[in-house]
Chain A
Amino acid sequence: MSFINYSSREINCKIVYYGPGLCGKTTNLQHIYRKTRPEAKGKMITLATETERTLFFDFLPLSLGDIKGFKTRFHLYTVPGQIFYDASRKLILKGVDGIVYVADSQVERMDANMESFDNMRINLDEQGYNLAEVPYVVQYNKRDLPNVVPVSELKKVLNVDGVPDFEAVAAEGAGVFETLKAVVKLVLIELKKSA
């Protein structure tokens, strides 16, 4: 749920990175953190296990400039991708304004991608959202690996709604900002529409 503060003249929105375990959600945030000017970002919080798997969430606050004299701030969250953390994923989706669905392009992760996408739809539904009405984009990550599924195939399964989608190699930063820009735009357009 976006938060418009007339007193501090800020528009705050929440974007969640969703996807199966090890697909690169945290890597997306880490790249954004590394490449953003210090004055435009806050501290990145990572609640992870000792083996660097996300336990609860990662959090990165970003400022993106002004609109009509209001500062725009985006709070980026990741969910824990591992199947058994479903209760935590539901909590993080609360109040979401936009979603980046990160898919792992490797052949052997297709089942995990589909399972995670269905899980996202179900969890959104439980929170009273309909995926078709939530601004979201899809990112096909790990395109540099040898055993990837062709994008045309990924689209058929993971982007039936025809939302903006992007190829990425998050570990090297390719496609990360394109994905972020697209979801930010969709969120702001939705905000405008809701008025």
Chain B
Amino acid sequence: MAQSSFVMFDEEYREISAVVDKLLRETNAKCVYLVDKDGQLISSTGDTHNIDATSLASLTAGNIAATGGLAKLIGEKEFSILFHEGEKDNLHISVVGQRVILVVIFDKRSSLGLVRLRVKKASEELGKSIQKLLARMDEGSDKESLLKEITDDDIERLFH
């Protein structure tokens, strides 16, 4: 396999969640999501109960992947920020540390300028946590123990 698993540990999860919560407050946004580039939801906060988070994560990753493809076509590395303007709600999507995607959903109680400003600051903090996480994943000890403990019976039992 070309890549090993992406692993989220409690400590980094708390750090990341704190940054995402702060971003929600500071931008006065409706909700904020953090998504892995492969489409897995990492963290979410705010008024999220009306939104299917799994679908949002997968479509956001698809969106970033498609725009990334467009960027390469015209000789850009990537488009790190996408903005979708709706009648009421707007989507601000940005790539953090080339690995994860930050999604901010906001309405007229906030503004694009404010969101851009706060996202930039939050991205720096998130980038550090992600780097720490990647370094810890390279060590790999915790992940190994879980995966090694999986038995053939565990796998078989999923289907009964």
- Contacts from A to B (Cβ < 8 Å): 1-8, 12, 14, 42-43, 45, 47, 56-57, 59, 61, 64-65, 67-68, 70, 72, 75, 87-88, 90-92, 94-95, 127-129, 133-134, 181, 184-185, 188-192, 194-195
Residue contact A59 to B8, C-beta cutoff 8 Å: no
Write out, one digit per residue, whether chain B residues 23-55 have a CB within 8 A of any chain A CB (1) or not (0).
Answer: 000000000000011111010000000001011
- B126-160 CB mask vs A (1 if < 8 Å, else 0) is 00000000000000001111111110101101110
Q: How far is the CA of A4 from the CA of B3 in the complex (A)?
A: 13
Instruction: Assess whether A67 is in contact with B2, with CB atoms less than 8 Å apart.
Output: no
A1 touching B143, Cβ below 8 Å = no
Does B65 belong to the interface (CB within 8 Å)?
yes
- Number of chain B residues close to chain A: CB under 8 A: 43
Say if the beta carbon of B82 comes within 8 Å of chain A.
no
**Does more than half of chain A's interface fall in helix, strand or loop, or is it mixed?**
mixed
**Set B3, B9, B144, B155: member contacting A67, Cβ < 8 A:** B155
Nearest Cβ in chain B — how far from A182, in angstroms?
A: 10
The SS class assigned to the B binding surface is: helix
B58 touches A4 (CB 8 A): no
Across the interface, do A1 and B58 meet the contact criterion of CB distance under 8 Å?
Answer: no
Which residue of the partner chain, among A64, A94, A127, A195, contacts B147 with CB atoms under 8 Å? A195
The one of B8, B38, B55 in contact with A42, judged by C-beta atoms closer than 8 angstroms, is: B55
Does B54 contact A42, Cβ atoms closer than 8 Å?
yes
Interface residues, chain B, with chain A CB atoms under 8 Å away: 1-10, 13-14, 36-40, 42, 52, 54-55, 58-59, 62, 65-66, 68-69, 142-150, 152, 154-155, 157-159
Complex-state Cα separation, A95 to B59, whole angstroms: 15
**A7 near B13: Cβ-Cβ < 8 Å:** yes
B66 touches A43 (CB 8 A): no
Chain B residue nearest to A186 in the complex (CB):
B155
Chain B nearest CB from A61 CB (Å) reads: 5
Which of the listed residues B9, B65, B155 has the most CB atoms from chain A within 10 Å of its own CB? B155
Q: Tell me, in angstroms, the Cα distance from A189 to B65 when the chains sit together.
A: 28
